[in-house]
Amino acid sequence: MIDVVLLTAPPPLGAVTGGQRYNEAIAERAGHHDARMRAVAISGRTLAQRALAARRALHQSNGVDAIVIDSIVADAAALAGRGNVPLVGLAHQIPSARHPTVFGALGRALSRTAYRRCRRLIAVSEWVAAALDSIGVPCAVVPPGVERPPAREATNAGGPPIVLCVANWLAHKGILDLAEAMALLPAEAGRLRLVGAPRLETSYGRRVAARIGRSDLRDRVTARGTLGRDDVDHELARADIFALPSRDEAYCIAVAEALANGLPVVGYRSGNVTDLVGGAGILVDPGDVSGLAESLRLLTLDRDRRRSFAELARRRAATLSTWDQSARAFFEAIRSGMRLASAAERHERDRTPSSA
């Protein structure tokens, strides 16, 4: 049995993220793969405070077999110094891809420094792995898993089509674009249900709230907020279409779960979503709100077309990994990193002359 520590960030207050779900799902299945994994939260208001917390965590984890550095704390880990335990990088995202500022550039540089200290990288998609290729560290692609629900009858039979979006209200998720697209459709095109943290403390969250509160959308959009797993599953079961015009998604668990529920996907042709959806939906160029509206119109107003895409969605989902398969690949990558670290240590000892 191997003992693994995951350095990550504290769970976001009132929200659920894809990275958080990935980490929890892998940790829950560790015992099935002869492993233990516990998370250590690296917190602090400033980068310096987080770096000190990462340094303490590294030194307190000396007795474990491997330390996994979550991409969300990679910048802090880069400033925490080096430990004696093999490091593995877990890339849920491309470093600071959404921050084209001097701080974003600093974050990218620090994250890449942390990854270069690792013996192995784990990327959640081929799209992320390609972006990390220049680092020069062996990379394994271990996508999130998805469980395929049992076949069931649609719970919205006969009602107006339901368009579902599962995402926190962050600018790169495109919730505002989706609202504008819905406003371009006639009322008979259906209703939009939003699941995810509204993030009203941000200007973007307040803009979304103001837009869906206007008279043309007030009666057609329902915001459910953050929901538990069972309630999200219920929303997926009753929906007809899944829409998420997100940009630069590293994987997108929400889209994978929509496919598993037989939902056609409408969104932007960006990041990993293009490969994930395949032919099981209609994707348009990022920022094309009118194209987004037309894609929704084609599926909401044409039941036969919607059924055809639903079958394609189920077929696509059947090709995706389950969570158990993902956990197996994850811990195989950890063990590979440990073997590489051991080989490097032996090589270093062989190169060092013995003292007389």
Give residue-wise pLDDT tens across range 268-307: 999 999 999 999 999 999 999 999 999 999 999 999 999 9
pLDDT over threshold 80, residue 150: no
User: Are residues 220 and 191 in contact, defined by beta-carbon separation less than 8 angstroms?
Assistant: yes
Contacts of 287 (CB under 8 A, 6+ apart): 177, 268
- Retrieve residue 71's tokens: 């991409």
Q: Look at 75-79, 319-323, 342-346 and tell me which has the smallest mean pLDDT.
A: 342-346
In a domain, 247, yes or no: yes
Residue 100 corresponds to which amino acid? P
* CATH, residue 131: 3.40.50.2000
pLDDT for 153 beyond 60: no
Q: Which residues pair with 284 in a beta bridge?
A: 268
pLDDT score for 152: 57
Domain assignment of residue 153, yes or no: no
CA 86 to chain centre: 25
* Mean pLDDT score, 36-50: 95
What average pLDDT does range 169-197 have in this prediction?
96
Same domain assignment for residues 187 and 168: yes
The alpha carbon torsion through 99, 194, 149, 298 (nearest 10 deg) reads -90
Averaged over 159-184, what is the pLDDT? Answer: 96
Q: From CA 79, how far away is CA 114, in angstroms rounded?
A: 8
* pLDDT above 80 (res 158): no
Please report whether residue 107 resides in a domain: yes
Q: Tell me: do 131 and 29 sit in the same domain.
A: yes
* pTM for this prediction: 0.90
Residues 124 and 223 in one domain: no
Residues 6+ apart with CB under 8 A from 281: 242, 264, 265, 266, 267, 309, 313
Any domain includes 286:
yes
Domain that holds residue 182: 162-317
Total residues found in the chain within this entry? 356
pLDDT at 83: 80
Residue 167 lies in a domain: yes
Report CA-CA distances (Å) from 25 to 18, 31, 119, 206, 354.
11, 12, 23, 32, 46
Helices (H), the chain: 18-28, 47-60, 74-78, 102-116, 126-132, 175-183, 203-212, 229-238, 253-260, 273-277, 289-300, 303-317, 323-351
169 lies in the same domain as 248? yes
Do 241 and 279 lie in one domain? The reply is yes
In this prediction, residue 352 carries a pLDDT of 60
So what's the pLDDT on residue 356?
43
Do 100 and 33 reside in the same domain of the chain?
A: yes
Give 2 or 346, the one with higher predicted confidence: 2
- 11 domain-assigned: yes
Q: Order the strands of the 265-268 sheet from edge to edge.
A: 221-225, 191-195, 162-166, 241-244, 265-268, 281-284
**Residue 41: half-sphere exposure toward Cβ, Cα within 13 Å:** 8
Task: Please check whether residues 47 and 171 belong to one and the same domain.
Answer: no
Residues 6+ apart with CB under 8 A from 219: none
Buried b or exposed e, range 87-99, using 16+ CB within 10 angstroms: bbbbbbbbbbbee
User: Which tokens is 334 given?
Assistant: 């950890």
Reported confidence tier of residue 155, pLDDT bands at 50, 70, 90 = low
User: How much is the average pLDDT of 309-329?
Assistant: 96
Same-domain check for residues 288 and 208: yes
Give residue-wise pLDDT tens across range 89-132: 999 998 755 555 556 788 889 999 999 999 999 999 999 999 99
- Separation CA 254–CA 168 (nearest Å): 11
Same domain, 295 and 172: yes
Question: What's the domain count of the chain?
Answer: 2
Within this chain, do residues 313 and 166 fall inside the same structural domain, yes or no?
yes
Does residue 222 sit in helix, strand or coil? Answer: strand
The DSSP symbol for 183 reads H
d(C-alpha 274, C-alpha 252), whole Å? 11
The answer to whether position 155 is within a domain reads no
Share of the chain above pLDDT 70, in %: 92
Same domain, 283 and 204: yes
Q: Is residue 41 part of a domain?
A: yes
291 or 158, which is more confident?
A: 291
Measure CA of the first residue to CA of the last residue in the chain; give whole Å: 38
Q: 258 and 330, same structural domain?
A: no
Give the chain's mean pLDDT.
92
Q: Does residue 346 have a pLDDT over 80? A: no
